[in-house]
Amino acid sequence: METPDKIFNWVEEWNISFAGCGFRSIYYVGALSCILERVPHLVYGASKICGASSGCLVAAALTLCADILTTAKEARKHTLGVFHPTFSLLRTVRDSLLEKLPEDAHLRASGKLCVSLTRITDGKNVLVSEFASREELIQVLMCSCFFPVYCGFIPPSYHGVLYMDGALSNNMPLFEQRNTITMAPFSGESDICPREGTFNLLETLAEICHNGYMDALCFLRDRVWWSEPNFLAVSR
């Protein structure tokens, strides 16, 4: 058996980065449920958890220790795909954040969560990983998720500066760092992603979630367990 070209290095610090992907972010729920079931330290030991656009909401939930496994079980019950009300517009997302984020969310997120923003004035990318308050954290997440027209015509601001969808300038924060685990629900070069296949509007949430689980399992088998065969037993 040949050794994979690139195996995960437990000695170095590592990051996890989620690409923006709209309603298909349910793919991440499946992938994370697989990792948390089998090698939870891969998530809990990450130095930074990053995201752009809808990916930053997944990163925030993970940073704040949201129950990903329960979310995955709920996702499997739905079959309406993009039309399911779970995937609503920005105002509903904000209301959900206000309701669910703990009062100390900004303290938990600072230094751990990394959010990609696109500055409207010059189109430059800005990465934010320090948050002075819970409201500031919510503002940063809203800025990263704001896609013009689809989410409205008045962009949100952070520290008085207008921002929009972080995916427009950097859809995979910290991807250039060697030990960053990248995830995307579209086929490509990300560490965890579909290896083939095309976009299918008729695909259900359950199918997207399941595909994420299986792709993550392939990543663990090919790239993580190779690097430390006994780690799975040690981490339990």
21: exposed, middle or buried (Cβ count in 10 Å: 0-12, 13-18, 19+): buried
Q: What is the pLDDT of residue 68?
A: 52
Q: What is the pLDDT of residue 199?
A: 56
The pTM of the full predicted model, rounded to 2 decimals, is: 0.83
213 in Cβ contact with 31 (< 8 Å): yes
CATH superfamily ID and name for 15-235: Cytosolic phospholipase A2 catalytic domain (3.40.1090.10)
61 in Cβ contact with 175 (< 8 Å): no
Q: What is the pLDDT of residue 227?
A: 54
Q: What is the pLDDT of residue 70?
A: 56
**Catalytic residue numbers, as ranges:** 53, 165
Q: What is the pLDDT of residue 73?
A: 52
Q: What is the pLDDT of residue 99?
A: 80
The domain locations on the chain are: 15-235
Q: What is the pLDDT of residue 90?
A: 61
205 in Cβ contact with 68 (< 8 Å): no
Residue ranges, the chain, pLDDT below 70: 1-6, 65-93, 197-202, 226-236
Q: What is the pLDDT of residue 86?
A: 40
Q: What is the pLDDT of residue 126?
A: 98
Q: What is the pLDDT of residue 158?
A: 95
Q: What is the pLDDT of residue 84?
A: 44
Q: What is the pLDDT of residue 130?
A: 97
- Give dist(CA 46, CA 43) in Å, integer: 5
The contacts of residue 174 (CB under 8 Å, 6+ apart) are 15, 17, 48, 50, 114, 127, 180
